[in-house]
Amino acid sequence: MKSRRNFLQKLTLSAVSLPLIPRFETNSLFATGKDVKRDTVLRVAIMGLGSYGTRVAEAMQDSKKAKLVGVISGTPSKITTWQSKYNIPAKNCYNYENFDAIKDNPDIDAVYIITPNSLHHPQTLRVAAAGKHVICEKPMALNAREGREMVAACKKAGVKLLVGYRMHFEANTLEVIQMREAGAFGDIKFFQGLSGFKIGDPTQWRLNKELAGGGAMMDIGIYSVNGARYMVGKEPIWVTAQETKTDPVKFKEGVDETILFQFGFPEGIVASCLSTYSMGNLDRFFLNGTQGFAEMQPSTGYGPIKGKTHKGPLDNPHITHQTVQMDRMAEIILEGKSAKVPVDGEEGLKDLIIIDTIYKAVASGKKEPINLG
């Protein structure tokens, strides 16, 4: 673990500096941009061949508009395995030191960065400098300062920056959003988001502040942060937060175990959320309005997402989230479409600003204003 940590830290430092519908269709929530050939496919290289990178790769096998064509990894054996399994040519395989050479590879359109949080910022800058579109896992960076630099770098390079918000394309989630917009819940009053699980291996990078940037908040807590925003349909204007730590050996200084946080929104709407690495049986969203409610559990897992509203069950068919995500992101990048709930760098930056403010509220013990401007 120590050698891996040193290697990753070295990489970081060396980087280039409406009416309700009976059946929900995610395609209906996209606005068509310029006319393009419908057989256009987004050619993607995955950076980071761990467990989630594998999940994305498998899901892409069923994608109609995105194709896995390249890999970037610091582990040669993984590259060899993926080459064979996914029929990836050697010329599309890179390591963390030489992947800047993708600039000269016309076979790759975009790079999906699925590495530890601390690497997102430097790797995004390098991919953008190489002229390739960036898809980055969440959280987009360690803090808002890094996020702003990533957004600016991609704009300067003329490439797209998207964030892996797979729930923004999930059918039951989008149905609740459409119901809220259509007024089915009346005036929204309250949201509850519970995000957490019992984390295992104490030596993993998610419990290393230098690699993760924090603890549960930077991993699972972001789902309640982001979920509060898209479920309520407004941006929070203040936050209070309290941290609880029961195991200071496993959760060292700067690595949060459990944070309870409360948002205030315009019009008196409030939210109560939990981010934790020490409790299971959570993953629950609850939205309450003057005329109805929506309840989802599980609300952000890999699926199927289950839930109900005051009108009945949410029963849209489950499709692998990452398959839908990659198809829709291909449409955004290649066809100029836009998502109902944004997945761009600006959206990722808002979550980072909010998380920064949550940590500030934990430290101050005060109600802290959230400035997304």
Per-residue pLDDT tens for 148-176? Answer: 999 999 999 999 999 999 999 999 999 99
Q: Which uninterrupted H or E stretch holds 214?
A: none
Please state which of the ranges 9-18, 56-65, 319-328 shows the lowest mean pLDDT: 9-18
Confidence of residue 39 (pLDDT cuts 50, 70, 90): low
What are the b/e assignments for 137-146, b being 16+ CB within 10 Å?
Answer: bbbbbbbbeb
Residues 208-220, mean pLDDT to the nearest whole number = 98
Q: Characterise 63 by phi-psi region: left (phi > 0), alpha (psi -120 to 50), beta (else).
A: beta
Q: Where are the beta strands (DSSP E) in 236-370?
A: 238-244, 258-264, 270-276, 284-289, 293-296, 307-309, 312-314, 368-369
Edge-to-edge strands, sheet with 258-264: 312-314, 307-309, 293-296, 284-289, 188-196, 270-276, 258-264, 238-244, 368-369
160 belongs to the catalytic site? no
Residue 110 and residue 180 in one domain: no
130 in Cβ contact with 155 (< 8 Å): no
336 in Cβ contact with 34 (< 8 Å): yes
Residue 226 and residue 112 in one domain: no
Residue 159 and residue 233 in one domain: no
Residue 277 has pLDDT above 80, yes or no: yes
| Of the residues 122, 138, 166, the one at which a domain ends | 166
**For residue 305, what pLDDT is reported?**
98
Residues 16-27, mean pLDDT to the nearest whole number = 39
Confidence of residue 40 (pLDDT cuts 50, 70, 90): confident
Residue 334 forms part of a structural domain: no
Catalytic residue among 65, 138, 337, 350: 138
Residue 98 and residue 38 in one domain: yes
**For residue 373, what pLDDT is reported?**
83
Cis omega (within 30 of 0) on the bond before 266? no
Residue 72 and residue 175 in one domain: no
Residue 103 and residue 176 in one domain: no
Residue 14 forms part of a structural domain: no
Residue 17 forms part of a structural domain: no
Residue 338 forms part of a structural domain: no
Residue 116 has pLDDT above 60, yes or no: yes
Total structural domains within the chain: 2
101 token code pair: 């050479």
Mean pLDDT of the chain, nearest integer: 92
Residue 291 forms part of a structural domain: yes
Query: What percent of the chain is predicted at pLDDT more than 70?
Result: 90
Residue 118 exposure: Cα atoms within 13 Å on the Cβ side: 21
Sort strands 133-136 and 110-113 into parallel, antiparallel or unpaired: parallel
| Of the residues 123, 139, 166, the one at which a domain ends | 166
Residue 7 forms part of a structural domain: no
Residue 221 and residue 355 in one domain: yes
Q: What is the CATH number of the domain that holds 356?
A: 3.30.360.10
Residue 266 and residue 119 in one domain: no
Residues 218-238, mean pLDDT to the nearest whole number = 98
Structural domain for 53, as ranges: 22-166
Cα–Cα dist 197/277, whole Å: 5
Which distant-in-sequence residues (6+ apart) come within 8 Å of 287 by Cβ? Answer: 176, 180, 185, 188, 190, 191, 231, 232, 293, 294, 295
Residue 100 and residue 207 in one domain: no
Residue 105 forms part of a structural domain: yes
**For residue 113, what pLDDT is reported?**
99
Edge-to-edge strands, sheet with 93-94: 93-94, 66-72, 42-47, 110-113, 133-136, 161-163
| Of the residues 122, 147, 166, the one at which a domain ends | 166
Which distant-in-sequence residues (6+ apart) come within 8 Å of 106 by Cβ? Answer: none
Per-residue pLDDT tens for 311-363? Answer: 999 999 999 999 999 999 999 999 999 999 999 999 999 999 999 999 999 99
Cα–Cα dist 38/373, whole Å: 37
Which distant-in-sequence residues (6+ apart) come within 8 Å of 67 by Cβ? Answer: 41, 42, 43, 44, 60
Catalytic residue among 223, 230, 277, 359: 223
350 belongs to the catalytic site? no
Residue 113 and residue 30 in one domain: yes
**For residue 183, what pLDDT is reported?**
98
Residue 242 forms part of a structural domain: yes
Residue 106 and residue 209 in one domain: no
Residue 71 and residue 193 in one domain: no
Q: What is the CATH number of the domain that holds 29?
A: 3.40.50.720
Query: What percent of the chain is predicted at pLDDT more than 90?
Result: 89
Per-residue pLDDT tens for 170-187? Answer: 999 999 999 999 999 999
